Amino acid sequence: MDEIGRVVVVARRLALKPRGPRWAHASLCVLDAVFSINAHYERHTVPTCHRYAAWAGISVPLSGSAQLPVPDEQPLQVFVTHIQTHGEAAFSTEVLQNRQRTRASCEAPLKAEAARQYAEILVSHGIATLADANALLADLDKLKTVEGDLAGIAGHGSGARLAYLWMLLGDDSRIKPDRMVLRWLQTVLQRTVTTAQATGLITGAAARLRCTPWELDHAIWEDQRKV
């Protein structure tokens, strides 16, 4: 049996579920992607996004895919202006109530700064809404350029943050090969797995399971968060 087959056998035991409600604003996707790295998702990341939504007057932060786009989606330019007006330190403390940094060092940039830079780069490439982001994902040449720019922001690491951003913005073919997904694959295959290998394995297994890579990735994440 090949390695994808071994992944499929174990994955059949997971709770594969269709995608539920998702962030209805690109700004919340950016916050989630940046603040979820090396953080407890339910305890820190989700409340951070909801605090921003409440402060910014976003009435519908989450929506089902069939109901997108929402009529009052906040353009990313507004998100950038909010951070610029406050400054990253004040925005982190007063609005987000989350002063996490991009690395475990008091000298590392605040995640709020990384979020602002993410949004600024996307805006500079004409990406302001979820619809813009999905158009970008279909333009592979432009996508490569945008990804190159985003990779220069502090906290890029292995690229899991960027892959996760595309997942949040709507691409169900993307996965977030973070430490939990890697740990699960390493347990299944009894070897070290790189992020690039993880992407190929999950994508291949999802095709055989007749689910999206997002659904398999999320099922693995749900399984591993219990460990």
Question: Helix (H, G, I), strand (E, B), or coil: what is residue 101?
Answer: strand
Q: At what angle do helices 140-150 and 111-124 cross, to 10 degrees?
A: 150
155: confidence class by pLDDT, cuts 50, 70, 90:
confident
Q: How far apart are alpha carbons 198 and 201 in whole angstroms?
A: 5
In this structure, what token pair is assigned to residue 82? 């909010």
Going by their DSSP bridges, the two strands 62-63 and 22-23 should be labelled as antiparallel
Q: How far apart are alpha carbons 133 and 226 in whole angstroms?
A: 32
Q: What is the pTM of this model?
A: 0.80
216 has a pLDDT exceeding 90 = yes
Q: How high is the pLDDT of residue 215?
A: 94
Q: At what angle do helices 179-189 and 195-209 cross, to 10 degrees?
A: 70
Q: How high is the pLDDT of residue 159?
A: 77
219: confidence class by pLDDT, cuts 50, 70, 90:
very high
The per-residue pLDDT for range 31-47, each reduced to its tens digit, is: 999 999 889 999 999 99
Q: At what angle do helices 140-150 and 130-137 cross, to 10 degrees?
A: 110
The per-residue pLDDT for range 112-125, each reduced to its tens digit, is: 999 999 999 999 99
Maximum Cα–Cα distance across the chain: 57
The per-residue pLDDT for range 176-206, each reduced to its tens digit, is: 788 889 999 999 999 999 988 999 999 999 9
C-alpha pair distances (Å), 211 with each of 9, 67, 181: 14, 21, 17
Q: How high is the mean pLDDT of the chain?
A: 93
% pLDDT > 90, the chain: 75
- Which of the residue ranges 95-99, 100-104, 136-140, 217-221 would you say has the lowest mean pLDDT? 136-140
